[in-house]
Amino acid sequence: MTVGCKGDRPFRLKSYSVERLKKTVENNLDCLLKVLKFNREHKILFFRITSDLVPFASHLVNTFNWQNYFRSEFEEIGEFIRRNGIRISMHPDQFTLINSVDNDIFRRSCKELAYHAQILDLI
């Protein structure tokens, strides 16, 4: 089954630009809403949101204020989720290690967890 969109196109650090980020996040949010609508129609009321919704969100290269730029899209998705009683989750990838003895890994892991919290707060 398909919903007619693809929200996981490769986005490499070497090709990072604000315009590319905007287009990617716009596509990802559009696809997320389409998937949630498809799921609701098929009585699937639990969904795991990808950690890649906003590429490089916790990376130093990303200084773009994506939170404000896409605020209304996040609010629309959140309203849809609440209105339809959908349960959602997010899970950071396996490289998120808050128990690491390496301070750099710990710092990056904290930034990644903060990004996940931002997404859920925006929704």
What the block records as the tokens of 67 is: 């939170």
State how far the Cα of 36 lies from the Cα of 25, in Å rounded to an integer: 16
pLDDT, tens digit, 9 for 90 and up, residues 80-95: 999 999 999 999 888 8
Position 46 pLDDT exceeds 70: yes
**Which of 49, 48, 74 is CA-nearest to residue 66?**
74
CA–chain centroid gap for 93, Å, is 12
Residue 78 pLDDT = 98
Question: Which residue, chain included where needed, has tokens 């404000």?
Answer: 68
pLDDT, averaged across the chain: 92
CA dihedral 5, 10, 14, 15 (to 10 degrees): -20
Please, are residues 33 and 80 in contact by the beta-carbon 8 Å criterion?
Answer: yes
Position 75 pLDDT exceeds 90: yes
Please, are residues 81 and 37 in contact by the beta-carbon 8 Å criterion?
Answer: no
Domains of the chain: 15-122 (3.20.20.150)
Q: What is the mean pLDDT of residues 22-40?
A: 95
pTM of this structure: 0.89
Residue 80 makes CB contacts below 8 A (sequence gap 6+) with 33, 36, 37, 86
pLDDT, tens digit, 9 for 90 and up, residues 52-71: 899 999 898 999 999 999 99
Q: What is the mean pLDDT of residues 90-117?
A: 91
**Which of 29, 40, 31 is CA-nearest to residue 70?**
29
Residue 109 makes CB contacts below 8 A (sequence gap 6+) with 92, 95, 96, 97, 98, 100
Residue 13 pLDDT = 85
Position 24 pLDDT exceeds 80: yes
